[in-house]
Amino acid sequence: MAKIGDWIDKTATPDLIVRSIRLTSVQSSTSSGEAIRDLGVIKNFITGNGIFSLFDTPWSLIYLVVIFMIHTSTGFIAIAGIIILVSMAVWNELATKRILRETNEETIRNINAIDVATRNAEVVEAMGMSEFIVSDWCKRNDQNRAMQVTAQNRSNVITGITKFLRSTLQISVIGTGALLAITAHKTAGSIIAASILMGRVLAPFDAAVHTWKFLNQAKMSYGRLQRLILTSPKREQTMALPEPEGKLEFDRVFFTPYGSNKPTVKGISFVIEPGDVVGVIGASASGKSTIAKLTVGVWKPISGVVRLDGADVYTWNRENFGNYVGYLPQDIELFNTSVKANIARMRPDPNPEEIIKAAKIAGIHELILSLPNGYDTTIGGPGGVILSGGQKQLLGLARAFYGNTKLLVLDEPNANLDSNGEARLINAINVAREQNTTTVIITHKLQLLSVVNTVIVMSDGVIYAMGPKDEILSRLVAPSPDATEDKRSSASG
C-alpha cells in the first residue's frame, strides 16, 4: 500500500498536473487543485485501514465452513447475517448515493466560487461586492448543508438498524448454541467457538458497511479524474527537432474554441518569412489572440495546420519548442517565485548570463537590481514584492526573450506600458529583428506598428488584408472608391 501511495505521489500526480494545465489551456475551467484533491481522496482510501479489513473476506468463507461444521443452524444464522449486512450496505448506497454526489459537486462549485472571488479581490473590494458574494455563498452552502444532513441522517438510521441486527445475530448464535448444549447435541466450548467465529465471519462485511461511504467518495473522485484524463487533449511525446530558422506558416487553419460551435478562425493561410516582424491588427474578437495561441501550439486547429520551419507546432515536443519560442500572453501572470526563476521559465538549470541578457533586452535590468534581493527577489505570494502591471509586462517580455528565441509572439505587449515602457518594448522588438527572430505582435495600438514590416488585418476570423505595412496602412486610411463616389455625387447634388 505504501508503494501504491508512492506511485500516486511520484507518477500519477505529476501526470495529472500536466493534464490539468493542458485542459485549462483549452477550456479555462479546470483546476489542478481539484485534481490533486481527488487524487488525495483515492490515495487515502487505498492506503487507509478500511480497505485492509476487506482483504479478510476470503477468510470468512473458511470460518463459515467451520461454523457449519459446528452445526448447520449456526451456519445458516451466519449466512443470514452476511445477507443482512450486505443488504444494509446496498440500502445505504441507494439511499445516499445521489444526494452525496450532488453535495460533493456543489461543494466543489462553492470552493471554486470563492477562488474566483479571491482572484478578483480588488474588484470585489472596490465595488463593495463582498457582502453579496458571501450571502450568495451562504445561501448555496446552507442548501448544500441541508442535503448533507439529510444524507447523514439516512445513513445514521441505516447504521443504527445494522448495529441492532448485528447484535441480534450474535445473540441468536449464542442462544442457538446454548439450546444445542441443553439438548446435549454440543458442548459449551462449541457455543463459544461459534460465537467467536460468527464475529470473524461478519467482520469484513461490517467493515464494508463503514468503508462504503469512503469507497463512494473515492469512486466519485475517480470518475472526475477519468473525465479529466479523457477530455485533456492528447499530445504525443515527439522527438526534439533542430533549431528552426523561424518560417511560420498557417495552412488553411480553422479553429473553434472548446465548447463552442462557432469558428473564430475560418480557414486562414499565410506565410511569414524568418526574421520578419509582423503586426496583427483588427477589431475586438476578430481572432487575433486566437492566432497567437495557434502559433505557439497551445490550441490545436480543427483543420489545417500551423507550421514552424515545416513542422506542426502543436505536435512539436513542448520542452524543445520552448527553447526556440517566446510568448507574452495578453493576461500576464507571473509565478510566485524569484525574478530569475520567472525569467528562466522555471528551468532547474537557469543560465545567469542568459537571464541578464533577456532582462537587458526587455530594459528591466536596472529595475531588477533595485529590488530588495535583485534577481533573487521573490515576486507575489506572502512576503513577495508586488510589481506594477507595466513591470510585470516587461518581466514577461524578458521571459519571452530568455534563451535562443527564434519565434516571438507578443499579444498586446504594450497594454500596461507608459511611453517609457513602450520605448523599451520597441527597443526589444528591434533587438529581435537584429537577431533575425520572427516576431508576431498582436496589437490594438497603431504606434506599435512603427516597428513592423508586415501587417495582417483580421476581420471576423478571416484575413481582411495582408502585406507590407505602408501599403496596407495606406489602403486602410484611404477612403473606399464607393465612399468617394458617394461624396462626389452628394457634392454635385
Ligand X SMILES: Nc1ncnc2c1ncn2[C@@H]1O[C@H](COP(=O)(O)OP(=O)(O)OP(=O)(O)O)[C@@H](O)[C@H]1O
Residues that bind ligand X (CB under 6 A): 28, 257, 260, 264, 282, 284-290, 444
Query: What's the CA gap between 491 and 59, in Å, rounded?
Result: 103
Minimum Å gap between C-beta 324 and ligand X is 24
Measured from the CB of residue 458, what is the shortest distance to ligand X in angstroms? 6
Give 284 or 489: the residue with its C-beta nearer to ligand X. 284
Please state, in angstroms and rounded to a whole number, the distance separating the CA atoms of residues 396 and 33: 25
Q: Strand, coil or helix: what is 380?
A: coil
316: which 3 cell numbers? 512539436
Backbone angles phi, psi at 278, to 5 degrees: -115, 135
Rounded to whole angstroms, the Cα distance separating 136 from 141 reads 8
C-alpha cell of residue 467: 502585406
Cell for 149?
444532513
Walk across the sheet containing 325-328 and list its strands. Answer: 325-328, 407-411, 438-442, 277-282, 454-459, 462-468
**By C-beta, is 28 or 373 nearer to ligand X?**
28
Taking the complex as a whole, the smallest distance from the CB of residue 257 to ligand X amounts, in Å, to 3
Give whichever of 190 and 289 is closer to ligand X, judged by the CB atom: 289
Shortest CB 255 distance to ligand X, Å = 9
Q: Which of residues 309 and 412 has its CB atom nearest to ligand X in the complex?
A: 412
Nearer Cβ to ligand X (290/454): 290
Q: How many CB atoms lie within 10 A of CB 276?
A: 19
Dihedral sign, Cα of residue 155, residue 157, residue 160, residue 166 = negative
Q: How far is the CB of 209 from ligand X (least distance, A)?
A: 45
With H, G, I as helix, E, B as strand and everything else as coil, classify residue 407.
strand
Give the nearer residue to ligand X in terms of CB position, either 123 or 285: 285
Residue 419 Cβ vs ligand X, minimum distance, rounded to whole Å: 22
The DSSP 8-state label assigned to residue 268 in this structure reads E
Shortest distance in whole angstroms from residue 296 CB to ligand X? 13
Pick the closer one to ligand X by CB: 445 or 488. 445
> Which of 339, 455 has the CB closer to ligand X?
455
**CA-CA distance, 340 to 326, in Å (whole number)?**
16
In the complex, the smallest distance separating the C-beta of residue 278 from ligand X, rounded to whole angstroms, is 15
Find the helix packing angle between 13-27 and 32-47, rounded to 10°: 150
The residue behind cell 501550439 is 297
CB of 425 to ligand X, least distance (A): 18
Angstrom distance (rounded) from CA 188 to CA 177: 8
* Residue 408, strand partner residues: 326, 439
Helix segments in 8-56, DSSP class H? 13-27, 32-47, 49-54
Q: Residue 155 or residue 264: which is nearer to ligand X going by CB?
A: 264
